[in-house]
Chain A
């Protein structure tokens, strides 16, 4: 059985059809990059996967079960902006992800548990290169550092699926390159499934194991909103990377067990 199955999904807002007849099957561990013209429904598709919206027609299943129609910890997300909480410092932004699921009433941990959560968060922040900024507030960080923080925040939850909505769109080219390396490294280590919307075709080709192109197949010049977009090209990419990741994931599952899908340090494909 496939990990995610999208079966004849439509998304309509009144008479405005954004997506139509969307059929897609995605395996676990794939890195799908979503490209297409502005307003062709990439972000809408991402919101459907996130559970922020429910499709007008059709079903999305994850491991055979219909997707929950509201965001949950199984699906992490990084937006282009507003991904981190302005009122929490860097460390607390990440600690929050450990506190909320454990403390259903206070949303807060105390004592030993709190210290443990802080340690875990600090370790992850070190990995994304924010160990020098633990006590800073988001407004004191550069755009790139804010996105590193958002990524760390998403990864602390160990989600099954990571949704990235143009996460590097507002960054400088140099910073963007560093971020590509970071996200690939984390992807390899954790084996999660990534969907990433991007405007940058090169980025899409470069990062993904699968490139999905969204476009309208039917056009009505009189009513441009009458028809929605579909996936017009579905291109497998970087097969070697995908294969090696799969291979190593299998190895790790044999040796380490599925519970800690971490990747040995330095085992880059």
Chain B
């Protein structure tokens, strides 16, 4: 038994050693142009096109055009993808605006929102069991959701519109993977989820949606972010990813059945269900639409809100004295927060290139 304990300890030690060494020796090379890049994405309606970008070979075409090599990897766990990107394992990764702010950006990884692909337009929602309920009914209830995620943000925004505050409800942290199973138990009466779980919950009898992201359009944004340093040294990466993305967007807009079928399949569902999910996801089909969104003052307002929410939750780092602790930049030289510490950048350079056909 002593041996057992020791061997367990030994295994733990070995693993940690290995992690330590791996991490120590895999630091990203500084200020170098390189030839091959790693990109990751996770399953969500707005990011599934990245899977198609990869499987259809479109990315290879664009990468060849710029003489580089891009490897796209799908990661099952959203949190893991964020951590891997923050740790420098990936040069670009799909994530929401809030995730980008609180994980890599707070972790000091200068990050650029490269392809602002879509925003949630009903893809995140608050559900409650019963009939004729409103947000006000949440008062005093336990709400099950993945804490410190966009679901949490959505709930806070919802409560705000109903004149309630977060302390009026009890937030119970529930992992997104187990949310549906949790909801089926008797003690869960209210939950916040995103697609595809949200669609499953809404389909439950005696359940109604009392708030969703359609009511806060453009606030939960699905982005392909890239490491600013890598991007600066290798604009080819930005060009290839942007070019490939809009090629697939054009296919979706044209209703290309083969492409949509492949995307539905890779998100583990059928075409009808995927179309339903897309309905709740506002995709920017053209670079023009995208430019309007990225250059709108609403985006700055949204990011201010997200930074405030994150600050209140203690997510901007313990050193942060207020929501301005982290600097963000927007097209046209507009900045938000600490100008000396700009770590999150919305950039329209690649979009403009796409509009001009310069890719």
- Direct chain A–B contact by Cβ atoms under 8 Å: no
Interface residues in chain B, defined as those with a beta carbon under 8 Å from any beta carbon in chain A: none
Interface residues in chain A, defined as those with a beta carbon under 8 Å from any beta carbon in chain B: none
